[in-house]
Amino acid sequence: MLYHFFDYIDQEFDLFGVGVFQYISFRAGLAVLISLLITITFGQRLISLLKAFQLGESIRDLGLSGQMEKQGTPTMGGIIILLGIIIPTLLFADLTNIYILLLIISAIWMGSIGFIDDFLKIKKKNKEGLRGKFKIIGQVALGLLVGGTMVSHPDIVVREFNSNDISLYSDIKSSATTIPFFKNNEFQYSWLLPDFLSEYAWVVYILMVTFIVTAVSNGVNITDGIDGLAAGTTAIIAMSLAILAYLSGNVIFSNYLNIMYIPNSGELVIFCAALVGACIGFLWYNAFPAQVFMGDTGSLALGGIVAVLAMVVRKELLIPLLCGIFFIELLSVIIQVGYFKYTKSKFGEGQRVFLMSPIHHHFQKKGLHESKIVTRFWTVGILLAVLTLATLKLR
């Protein structure tokens, strides 16, 4: 809103200094600052409110060190994160930008699903919360919405430049994405289909969006098992996505790096900046020992946001690398459950690969303190983020 206000003032009155709001870097800086102020300043008030409404976590004893000491810790702290994301975005981003609108919708959509789940678990004393199939329906619905918008909205295009003169270009509708580590690294989903079905590549694309939204949101949900892990990891990923969005939305850098130029995608930097600020601000209260948990309200929302961000900057094939922590956590659960069922059917008694899944609990069972686990996972997350950014040149 402030962006549009100062844009109007600049055009009508040409006041000195007002034009600074046109700079993405300036607005991104403000977004981080305001997001941090919101999460840190109002976080304690929200925690007190959650305690007053007795919205504390009911923890099942899994034999983990210090686990039962967290009994009654307020959850639904994802509300703090959502406020820290949405308010700065509304203030400083261009609200006519389709990418910004998609991300705001994604945050509210997935946050609402998580809120319902948390509310049913805690206030209604329903241990299962929102049934799994309804979560999947909500995730699939968001994937269909995002995918359908990506293939149909006229403002979502890729710009192709003349090889001899970049002032000559054409904006085309395309579902192209990026293949890491390869030169001329554009991948078309139509390549997955026979020639006579290539016109239906949009169907494959929408299915891919739906799969990624579902997988990443569940991955973050599973990762949110010890203090600070999901929030800190998401902050690292968001910083990387901010860089990728800025480069993809800048003609000079995208041409220099030989990557797709995506008109208007630079505006995503403001959203990413707010996301980074919200996650870091949330760590003020969520770092060990946590005063509040984000709950599904936060974890499902963060997963949906990261998935949609990766899709709109055409970097979805980098998700297993960039979101490697979430990927490993999700994979550990799949391996554990799959192997247990296989050995039970074959030998009559289920066996386990890990002491406990997700894998962060495996390390807890081995005696590592959760602060050490979180710090090491963050370190791995940073290394994965650096390697992801290195793919811009390593081909």
* pLDDT per position as a tens digit, 202-237: 999 999 999 999 999 999 999 998 999 999 999 999
CA distance 127 to 91: 38
What pLDDT does residue 139 have?
96
Would you say how long the chain is, in residues?
395
In this predicted structure, what is the pLDDT of residue 71?
74
Q: Are 84 and 282 in contact (CB under 8 A)?
A: yes
Query: Is the confidence at residue 357, as pLDDT, over 70?
Result: yes
Residue 52 has pLDDT above 90, yes or no: no
Distance CA 250, CA 218 (A): 32
- CA dist., res. 395 & res. 391, Å (int): 7
Which residue is associated with the tokens 């946001």? 305
pLDDT above 80 (res 163): no
pLDDT at 59: 61
**Which tokens hold the place of 304?**
């949906």
More confident residue, 210 or 191: 210
**Spatial distance between the Cα atoms of 234 and 222, rounded to a whole number of angstroms:** 13
Could you give the CA distance from residue 368 to residue 81 in angstroms, rounded to a whole number? 28
Residue 60 burial (10 A CB sphere; 0-12, 13-18, 19+): exposed
Q: What type of residue is 38?
A: I
Asked whether residue 79 carries a pLDDT value surpassing 70, the answer given is yes
Contact in structure between 305 and 312 (CB atoms under 8 Å): no
**The pair of three-digit structure tokens given for residue 321, joined into one six-digit string:** 């690398």
Q: pLDDT category, 63, cuts 50, 70, 90? A: low
Task: Name residues whose C-beta falls within 8 Å of residue 167's C-beta, 6 or more positions apart in sequence.
Answer: none
- The dihedral through the CA atoms of 289, 291, 294, 295 has a sign that is positive
Token pair 């929030």 is found at: 231
pLDDT band with cut points at 50, 70 and 90 for residue 262: very high
- pLDDT at position 281 over 90: yes
Residue 238's pLDDT band, with cuts at 50, 70 and 90, is very high
Mean residue pLDDT across the chain: 90
pLDDT at 159 over 90: no
Q: Label residue 390 exposed, middle or buried (CB < 10 Å: 0-12, 13-18, 19+).
A: exposed
Tokens of 388: 């992801």
Helix count and strand count (H, E) for the chain: 14, 4
Question: Per-residue pLDDT averaged across 112-118, rounded?
Answer: 93
- How large is the average pLDDT for residues 290-300? 93
Check: CB of residue 149 under 8 Å from CB of residue 156.
yes
- Give the residue from 31, 78, 94 showing the smallest Cα distance to 275: 31
Residue 9 pLDDT more than 80?
no
* Residue that wins the pLDDT comparison between 22 and 213: 213
Q: Say what the pLDDT of residue 83 is.
A: 96
pLDDT at 16 over 80: no
Alpha carbons within 13 angstroms on the beta-carbon side of residue 134 total 10
pLDDT at 348 over 90: no
Find, among 261, 223, 241, the residue nearest to 377 by Cα. Answer: 223
Q: Vertex 271, ends 153 and 289: CA angle to 5°?
A: 135
User: What would you measure as the largest C-alpha separation in the chain, in angstroms?
Assistant: 79
Q: For position 55, what pLDDT does the model report?
A: 61
* pLDDT for 122: 82
Strand ranges (DSSP E) for the chain? 158-161, 169-172, 177-178, 186-187
Q: Are 292 and 50 in contact (CB under 8 A)?
A: yes
DSSP summary character for residue 169: E
Q: In which band, very low, low, confident or very high, does the pLDDT at 186 lie, cut at 50, 70 and 90?
A: confident
- Residue 354 phi/psi, 5° resolution? -110, 155
Considering the chain, what percentage of its residues have pLDDT values greater than 90? 66
**Phi/psi of residue 110, each to 5°?**
-70, -35
How confident is the model over 154-177, as a mean pLDDT? 84
Identify the pLDDT of residue 69. Answer: 63
The residue-averaged pLDDT of 318-341 equals 95
Distance CA 385, CA 395 (A): 17
Mean pLDDT score, 367-395: 94
